Amino acid sequence: MTVSAFTFAVDDGSTNVKVSWIESTQLKTIISPNSFRKDWKSAALRRDKKVFNYTIGTTKYTYDATSDKALETTHVDYQYDDLNLLGVHHALLQTGVTPCPVRLVVTLPITEFYNAEDCQRNEANIEKKRQNLMREISLNKGDLFEVVDVVVMPESVPAVLSTLMDSNCNEFTRSLVVDCGGTTLDMGVVVGEFDDVSAVYGNKEIGVSMVTDAARKALAAADSDASYLVANELIKRRYDMDFVREVVNDESQIDVILTKIENKIQELGTSVAYEAKKFAKNPNRVYLVGGGASLIAPALKEAYATLGERVVLINDAQSALARELCMYHSDFDELEVAPESLIEVEDE
């Protein structure tokens, strides 16, 4: 008899790793930002601060949320390299589950998972990703999860699995799924309730980081240099004036900064809407997922105005894919869904 290993669904994006798993009958989700640099950190002065020093082969890495030497994770090779292995193991440790043998359900950008010409699975890429995550890695003074099996799924489209099942669509319904992430825009057209994926699209130039970069520039100009994480938080909480005042030192610059952010959000929305229309002119439904979903929603509702309510912003859009993959690969019928939690990374 084989005992099945504990399963984690891991949407290992370039900027944030989203992990969902089931504890008793609760579906839990965390979001763990990627930020690693070479070499190790010295032991933390404060005892409540945990240091994560990793070794892969002969290379040493550490988790460093605020380092300006943080390694780039925003290229396609990321999917098959050390940083991906680090990002996934680090995120698993943030779940609070005691390290054990695990089966992972992970993701590949849709254009890596399918061949663009014929929408057939790209088995070579899928195997490359599996092998990458089964590699040896160690944590100094700590235990890691042992990866015993890896299942690879495409990004974007599976994020709407349960939404489609509940939506009474017929076998001819064409649904456009738009995943606006930190650095990439992924799209796919699903036919029926997942009978077929009929077209895929990937663009590495369009993502929320356009807005993050603009926010950081505007903040720096107002003597308020901010890390990537703080800039992202400001974008999310731009209507929360108490928070805005906390981040911006020069209060006279608040309006300028917020206007710059708002303009970039519009620019992002316009670019995504333009690409979406070019890719799928007349789908029957449009679903928005990924961290940037709420930012681009107004532009997409306008671009597909005739669809009205059928342009849908998925709840908790950033972690939707991880949640759906977890539900899809579990045997539970009834699950209580716990709210997602973003792992806190403090400035030091």
Place of tokens 């054990």: 100
Residues 207-226 that bind ligand ATP (CB under 6 A): 207-208, 212
**Contact stretch for ligand ATP (CB under 6 A) within 56-64, 131-139, 180-188, 333-341:** 180-188
Residue 181 lies near ligand ATP (rule: CB under 6 A): yes
Residue 291 lies near ligand ATP (rule: CB under 6 A): yes
Q: Which of 87, 202, 269, 290 binds ligand ATP (CB under 6 A)?
A: 290
Euclidean distance between CA atoms 248 and 225, whole angstroms: 9
Query: Which DSSP string do the residues of 52-78 spell out, in sequence order?
Result: -EEEETTEEEEE-TT-TTPPP--SGGG
Residue 207 lies near Mg ion (rule: CB under 5 A): no
Helix or strand holding residue 38 (H, E): strand 36-38
String of contacts with Mg ion for each residue 8-47, x by CB under 5 A: -----x----------------------------------
Contact between residue 219 and residue 257 where contact means Cβ atoms under 8 Å apart:
yes
Burial-class residue 290 by CB neighbours within 10 Å (0-12, 13-18, 19+).
buried
Shortest distance, CB of residue 314 to ligand ATP, whole angstroms? Answer: 11
Residue 266 lies near ligand ATP (rule: CB under 6 A): no
Taken in order 305, 190, 333, 330, the sign of the CA dihedral is: negative
Shortest distance, CB of residue 171 to ligand ATP, whole angstroms? Answer: 29
Contact between residue 103 and residue 22 where contact means Cβ atoms under 8 Å apart:
no
Burial-class residue 170 by CB neighbours within 10 Å (0-12, 13-18, 19+).
exposed
Shortest distance, CB of residue 183 to ligand ATP, whole angstroms? Answer: 4
Determine the Cα angle at 95 with ends 93 and 99, to 5°.
50
Residues 151-190 that bind Mg ion (CB under 5 A): 181
- Of these partners, Mg ion, ligand ATP, none, which one is at the site of residue 311 (CB under 5 to 8 Å by kind)? none
Residue 188 lies near ligand ATP (rule: CB under 6 A): no
Would you tell me which residues interact with Mg ion (CB under 5 A)?
Answer: 13, 181
Residues that bind ligand ATP in the complex, under the rule CB under 6 A: 13-16, 181-184, 207-208, 212, 232, 235-236, 290-292, 294-295, 318
